[in-house]
Amino acid sequence: MKISASEVAHVAALARLRLSDEMSAKLTEQLNDILTAMDKLAELNTSGVPSTNHALELSGAMRPDHAKESLDHERALANAPDSDGQSFIVPKVI
Amino acid sequence: MELHELSLTQAVDLLAKGEVSSLEMTQALIKRIEDTEPQVKAYLTLTGEAALLEAKAADQARAAGQAGPLCGVPAGLKDVLCTAGVRTTCGSKILENFVPPFDAFLVKKLKEAGMVLLGKHNMDEFAMGSSTENSGFEPSHNPWDLAAIPGGSSGGTAASVAAGSSLFSVGTDTGGSIRQPASHCGVVGLKPTYGRVSRFGLVAFASSLDQAGPITRSVADAALVLSVIAGHDPADSTSTSRPVPDYAASLGRGVKGLKLGVPKEFFVQGLDPEVEATVKAAMAELISQGAELVEVSLPHTEYALPVYYIIAPAEASSNLARYDGVKYGLSVRAEGAGLMDMYLDTRSRGFGPEVIRRVMLGTYALSAGYYDAYYGKAGQVRTLIRRDFEAAFEKVDAIVGPVTPTPAFDIGQKVDDPLQMYLSDVFTLSTNLAGLPGMSIPAGFSKAGRPIGLQIIGPHFAEETLFAVGHAYEQATDHHLRRPPL
């Protein structure tokens, strides 16, 4: 087993997902299959090989720090599930 | 010829000569949508009424001498691209009612060039899939054979261009999502070099791999669309500030004297014999026109799949953290429930099974104790894959091979086996990992009548070479001129 049912539950909590028992069982099986296929990478000796995080050589992009027009409140809140016209309203945190 | 059968360049020509108005063309396309949508289901959202107004405005702009390069041409766009005031779902229930307050950079460019927007195309949810069966709404169907998948994730887009319900379009490609559906639907699909087209307003899947590009009916059409959407955007720091070449000028270069590499790793067990025969026939045509074919090796090809399915889900798990029910999209708030419940309920109800699978996989690969073994290792092997291409391009100008291992499979055939589904992209993934441009062009049909594509891959920013090869091939063949029996 590459990944156990309890690890699946832990990862789901990290990813903020609530899984049904049926979905957990199916995912455990599928993730095991997929992770087993990933084992192929272990065949390769990669010691000393640098990592590629971006395919093109990119350096930090700098730009002048000028204020620009941004979305006004009305447009920024237009898709809000709940708002008072000034802020996004969310359920109680504590 | 009916208006919906035109290529983009033919449509542009007719409009420029005044032989047809944008209003007439847009009305014809809307009629075509009405005729084909019940079978093909390429669109998620239709904007017909607004399109007629835009068409009238385009005709007025032309009369005033202000016609852009796409003035009055009606088209739909993949629903991963934000369109101001027009619902953008990304194929997901979690964005079912999301109306963006802005246009994606490339959408803005298309509108400035005069495009008339017909609607938004169906896709696999968050561009995760190879068949559109992962759409949160409904699968699209292949216009050549309605029992077959159109490919994915830009399946609705490729199906629509093939069916004539869009005169051209733009899709996105993270691991093959432009080229694979283009191959399956018998149209041209180009994934440009990473950074050639701004990703601003493209709903993010895997930010180091995502790239938007044209899906069209000819290579000349793809060159025209790329010339409109390419260019630097200050809002995307990964978009290149290299000048945009005159892509149309590259079309007539021909292939004489070009060295084309044939990777032996692309011709292995699992490659369908009809696909192999079709691709080899296309290579023979290129040889007859003066290209030299050279065997090359991309020894790490077989590792692209595991590398991709670590890196892409890892980036996705981070990108998709934004869907939390706070600012936009679905928000599930049970009576008396707290913030954490809102997160859990919103995401679990809003995301479909494949998205949940990839978010889980990516979260796992990035989690404490597993990072080095998965994400770290994948990044190193990505370097080896990139070096394979660098070595090959020291010897050849471009690489040619298959796009997909098989012609389009049947709807439902692979839906319960994610690993089998992932194998559909085995020949396309590595170009995204290396950031290279790749194009699929129509190269023939299987005995069952399903299209087969030829893939052309170039070095970074060598789109002109791809256009030269593709256009030369098209001049000698008529696969791209065939239209599905709808």
**CATH code assigned at A14:** 1.10.20
Rounded Cα gap, residues B168 and B91, in angstroms: 20
The pTM score is 0.97
CA separation (Å) from A41 to B1, B303, B314?
A: 53, 7, 16
Assess if residue A38 is contained within a domain: yes
**Domain span including residue B423:** 3-259+396-481
Q: Which two tokens stand for residue B90?
A: 């990304």
Please check whether residues B324 and B468 belong to one and the same domain: no
B257 close contact with A: CB closer than 8 A: no
Verify that B211 and B350 share a domain, yes or no: no
Q: Mark whether B317 is an active-site residue.
A: no
What percent of chain A lies above the pLDDT cut of 90?
78
Task: Give yes or no for A53 touching B (CB within 8 A).
Answer: yes
Residues B370 and B460 in one domain: no
pLDDT of residue B236: 94
d(CA B291, CA B481): 23
Sheet holding B43-46, edge to edge: B43-46, B116-121, B74-78
Same domain, B36 and B185: yes
CA distance B140 to B122: 7
Show the low-confidence residues of chain B (pLDDT under 70). none
Domain boundary residue, one of B345, B379, B413: B379
Q: Catalytic residue at B318?
A: no
Average pLDDT, chain A: 92
Instruction: Please name the residue of chain B whose CA is at the shortest distance from the CA of residue A36.
Output: B306
Cβ-count burial of B318 within 10 angstroms (0-12 exposed, 13-18 middle, 19+ buried)? middle
Residues in contact with B250: Cβ distance below 8 Å, sequence separation at least 6, in sequence order: B223, B463, B464, B465, B467, B468
A23 in any annotated domain: yes
pLDDT of residue A10 exceeding 90, the answer is yes
Could you tell me if B312 and B430 lie in one domain? no
**Which residues of chain A does B240 touch, with a Cβ-Cβ cutoff of 8 Å?**
56
Asked, for residue A30, whether it belongs to a domain, the answer is: yes
Residues B375 and B401 in one domain: no
Please check whether residue B269 lies inside any domain of the structure. no
Q: Looking at the domain assignment, is residue B352 inside a domain?
A: yes
Query: Closest to B347 (Cβ–Cβ): which among A7, A17, A52?
Result: A17
Q: Torsions phi, psi of B142, nearest 5?
A: -75, 120
Both tokens assigned to B257: 């004297």
Whether residues B206 and B339 fall in one domain = no
What is the chain A residue with the closest CA to B421?
A: A34
User: Given this model, what pLDDT does residue B83 score?
Assistant: 98
Contacts of B1 (CB under 8 A, 6+ apart): none
Closest by Cβ to A79, choosing from B208, B327, B333? B327
Question: Do the chains contact at B302 and A90, CB–CB below 8 Å?
Answer: no
Helices (H), B41-187: 48-63, 105-112, 155-163, 179-185
User: Which of B362, B337, B359, B364 is closest to B348 using CA atoms?
Assistant: B359
- Does B291 map to a domain? no
SS3 assignment, position B392:
helix
Identify whether residues B38 and B165 lie together within a single domain: yes
Catalytic choice (B7, B131, B140, B177): B177
CB B338, CB B292: distance < 8 Å: no
Burial of B486 (0-12, 13-18, 19+ CB in 10 A): middle
Task: Answer whether B485 touches A (CB < 8 Å).
Answer: no
Q: Are B169 and B156 in contact (CB under 8 A)?
A: no
Chain mean position to CA B90: 13
Residue B239 lies in a domain: yes
DSSP assignment of B281-306, as one string?
HHHHHHHHTT-EEEEE--TTGGGHHH
Pick from B98, B234, B386: CB nearest A79: B98
Is residue A93 assigned to a domain? no
Same domain assignment for residues B210 and B247: yes
A-facing residues of B in 374-393 (CB < 8 A) are 374, 376-384, 386
What pLDDT sits at residue A55? Answer: 86
Contacts of A28 in chain B (CB under 8 A): none
Is the same domain home to B403 and B372?
no
Q: How far, in Å, CA of B319 to CA of B299, rounded?
A: 31
Asked if the structure places residue B292 within a domain, the reply is no
Secondary structure (H, E, C), A38-62? HHHHHHCCCCCCCCCCCCCCCCCCC
Q: Does B47 reside within a domain?
A: yes
The answer as to whether B232 is a domain residue is yes
Distance between CA atoms of residues B60 and B71, nearest Å: 10
B360 CB neighbours in chain A (<8 A) are 8, 11-12, 15, 17, 27, 31
Q: Does residue B229 lie in a domain region?
A: yes
pLDDT exceeds cutoff 90 at A92: no
Which residue in B has a C-alpha nearest to residue A13's C-alpha? B344
> Do residue B199 and residue B340 come from a single domain?
no
Query: Residue A59: is its pLDDT beyond 80?
Result: no
Question: Counting beta carbons within 10 angstroms of the beta carbon of residue B472, is it exposed (0 to 12), middle (13 to 18) or buried (19 or more)?
Answer: buried
Please count the structural domains in chain B.
Answer: 2
All residues of chain A having their beta carbon less than 8 Å from the beta carbon of residue B305 are: 37
- DSSP, residue by residue, B18-32: TSS-HHHHHHHHHHH
The verdict on B14 and B140 lying in the same domain is yes
What is the number of domains present in chain A?
1
Question: How far A38 CA sits from the closest chain B CA (Å)?
Answer: 5
Residue among A52, A61, A76 minimizing CB distance to B383: A52
Query: Is the minimum CB–CB distance between A85 and chain B shorter than 8 Å?
Result: no
Using only C-alpha atoms, what is the Rg of chain B?
A: 21
pLDDT tens, residue by residue, A34-47: 999 999 999 999 99
CB neighbour class for B76 (10 Å; exposed up to 12, middle 13-18, buried from 19):
buried
Instruction: Look at residue A22 and tell me if it is in a domain.
Output: yes
For residue A27, give its domain range: 5-42
B166 is catalytic: no
